[in-house]
Copies of this chain bind each other. A is one copy, B any other.
Amino acid sequence: MKKFINHVDDFLAESLVGFATVHADLVVLNQEPLFVRRKELKPGKVALISGGGSGHEPLHSGFVGYGMLDAACPGQIFTSPTPDQMMAAAKAVDTGAGVLFIVKNYSGDLMNFEMASEMSDVANAMVLINDDVAVENSSYTTGRRGVAGAVIVEKLVGSLAESGANLEECKTFGDRINKRTASMGVAFTSCTVPAAGTLTFKIGDDEIEVGVGIHGEPGRRRAKFEPADAIAAELLTAIVDDLKPASDAQLLVLINGLGGTPLGELYLLFNSTRAWLQQHDLRIARAQVGSLTTSLEMAGASITLCVLDAEMMRHWDSAVHTPGLRWGR
């Protein structure tokens, strides 16, 4: 295992101290319990809190800041954060309008966020993200997994919250976005969780895992390596079968790298996606390419489509200022 690491037990703490130092203009790190919070809170704004296992950076800590999250609770690598982190974060960032928990659908995350929701003194609601169309139920999940669609939910609801919407409106909007968002990924290589020290799964030099989860969970099938156009076609077929976008749908396309895939390949995958959608008379309204929801150093990528309506498009375009996404401000 070759990583930039000193001791396995200190990896997360040292990485977060580095992160919080670089982005001290935007975030503050709370050490005990562990969470990252927005430096400047906005009184009366619904506070958005997400979290989950680490190893998916910039998700979620990298999306704390203006127009997205107010706090993120990082668990150990690929391990759920605990309810005390979530409750402390809620207490720290609530300014009177309550807290919306944004949770990717994994059994551990859901259980702990539900516990925090019940035990917290702060008024709260929850949006559950389950955009991964690859499989129903998986290693750590009942139902569909939550993957890169989280970035879109956090961006759009973050913008709505910034505009002064109340807790119920933010929850309703988050649920609507989740229903209009679908993703599927593919892995070329595995990854190594530092505490394990060995590869999460084995994969041959000529094999790909179609529908992989962001912790290396099995997908739909183990296939022989294929050209980018064929991979894009398989992922998009599954996504479009699920979403059933109307022929005049305004699509947001997110090409998300899983960590070990260079940007040049992601843009090529976007080009394959663009060509496939054009062949199917579907129109790209907005596009984002980058490694935003990663699986440590896994090589691979996911495609996410989100069917925007006018309100969603406005909130996608609005200013955002976080370590991981920044525009318009």
List which A1-16 residues lie within 8 A (CB) of chain B: 2-7, 11-12, 14-16
**A 131-165 to B, binary, CB cutoff 8 A, 1 in contact else 0:** 00000000000000000000000000000000000
Q: Knowing A228-B6, A262-B57 touch, does A22 contact B289 (C-beta < 8 A)? A: yes
Instruction: Verify A2–B268 contact, CB threshold 8 A.
Output: no
Name the residue on B nearest A259 (C-beta): B262
Residues of B within 8 A of A55 (CB): 262, 264
Residues of chain B within 8 A (CB-CB) of A291 are 263
Oligomeric state, in copies: 2
Flag the segment in A116-124, A176-184, A241-249, A293-301 that touches B. Answer: A293-301
Contacts of A327 in B (CB 8 A): 326
Q: Is A75 an interface residue (CB 8 A)?
A: no
Chain B contacts of A2 at CB under 8 A?
Answer: 188-189, 205-206, 208, 225, 299
Select the residue from A188, A263, A294 with max chain B CB neighbours within 10 A. A263
B-chain residues with CB within 8 Å of residue A12 when the two chains form the complex: 264
A269 contacts B299, C-beta separation under 8 Å: no
A263 CA / B259 CA spacing, docked (Å): 8
Of the listed residues A55, A265, A268, A289, the one surrounded by the most CB atoms of chain B closer than 10 A to its CB is: A268
**Does residue A271 face the partner (Cβ distance < 8 Å to B)?**
yes
Query: Contact check: which of B22, B208, B263, B294 meets A270 at CB < 8 Å?
Result: B22
Complex Cα gap A57–B205 (Å): 25
Closest chain B CB from A24 CB (angstroms): 9
Enumerate chain A interface residues (CB-CB to B < 8 A): 2-7, 11-12, 14-19, 21-22, 54-55, 57-58, 62, 188-189, 205-206, 208, 225, 227-229, 231, 259-272, 274, 287-289, 291, 294, 296-297, 299, 301, 326-327
